[in-house]
Amino acid sequence: MKSLRNITTEFVSKNKLALFMLFVFLLLASFFEIYPVLFMQRILDGLTQSIDFVTILLSLVYWYGCRLIGALFSTLSGRMSSSLSSKYSRRIRRAIFDRITLSSYAVAEDKSAAENIYTSIDDVNSLGSAILSPIQYMAQNLFVFIWATVYLIKLDYILYLMCVPLGVVMWFFGNVVSRKTKNNEVIKRTVESNVAEVIDGFFSGAREVLTLGLVDRIRCVFDGLNEELRNRQYRNGWLQSALSSLLDILWPIATVITLGLGGYRVSTGQLTIGGLVAFMWYIQWAINPVSQFAVYKNQIQIASVSYKRIDQLFETYGTSSRTPKTCLEKISEITFDRVSYSYENSGRGIQDVSFSLKAGTFYSIVGKTGSGKSTIGKLISGLYEPESGTIELNRTDIIPASLIGNLQIMSAFSDAYIFTGSIIDNITLFSDEDTLKQGSLDEVFSVLSLDDLRNIGNLSSQGEHGLSTGQKQRIAIGRMLYHDPDVFIIDEATSAVDSSTEKSILDKLSALAADHIVVLISHRLSSILRTEYCYVVDNGCIVSQGEPMMLLENSNEFKQLFADQMMKGEESQ
Poorest-pLDDT segment among 414-423, 463-472, 537-546: 463-472
Mean pLDDT of the 74-86 span: 84
Question: Which comes out higher in pLDDT, residue 442 or 249?
Answer: 442
Q: What is the pLDDT of residue 518?
A: 97
In 354-437, which residue ranges form alpha helices assigned H by DSSP?
Answer: 373-381, 423-428
Mean pLDDT of the 130-144 span: 66
pLDDT at 143 over 80: no
Q: With pLDDT > 70 as the criterion, what percentage of the chain qualifies?
A: 84
Q: Mean pLDDT for the chain?
A: 81
Q: With pLDDT > 90 as the criterion, what percentage of the chain qualifies?
A: 25
pLDDT at 405 over 60: yes
Q: What is the pLDDT of residue 215?
A: 81
3-state secondary structure labels for all residues of 296-344? HHHHHHHHHHHHHHHHHHHHHCCCCCCCCCCCCCCCCEEEEEEEEEECC
Rounded CA-CA distance 179/351 in Å is 52
Rounded CA-CA distance 415/395 in Å is 32
Full-model pTM: 0.70
pLDDT per residue as tens digits for the range 241-253: 777 777 777 777 7
> Residues 90, 93, 99, 105: is their CA dihedral positive or negative?
negative
Mean pLDDT of the 164-185 span: 76
Q: Are the C-beta atoms of 448 and 477 separated by less than 8 Å? A: yes
pLDDT at 223 over 60: yes
Rounded CA-CA distance 545/333 in Å is 18
Q: Residue 109, SS3?
A: coil
List the Cα angle 20/24/28 in 5-degree steps: 170
pLDDT at 460 over 80: no
CA 165 distance to own-chain centroid: 46
Task: Enumerate helices (H) and strands (E) in the chain, giving the number of each.
Answer: 19, 9
**Which H helix or E strand runs over 444?**
helix 438-447
Q: 36's torsion region: left (phi>0), alpha (psi -120 to 50) or beta?
A: alpha
Q: Are the C-beta atoms of 294 and 366 separated by less than 8 Å? A: no
What distance, in Å, lies between the first and last C-alpha atoms of the chain?
57
- Check residue 213 and report its DSSP letter: T
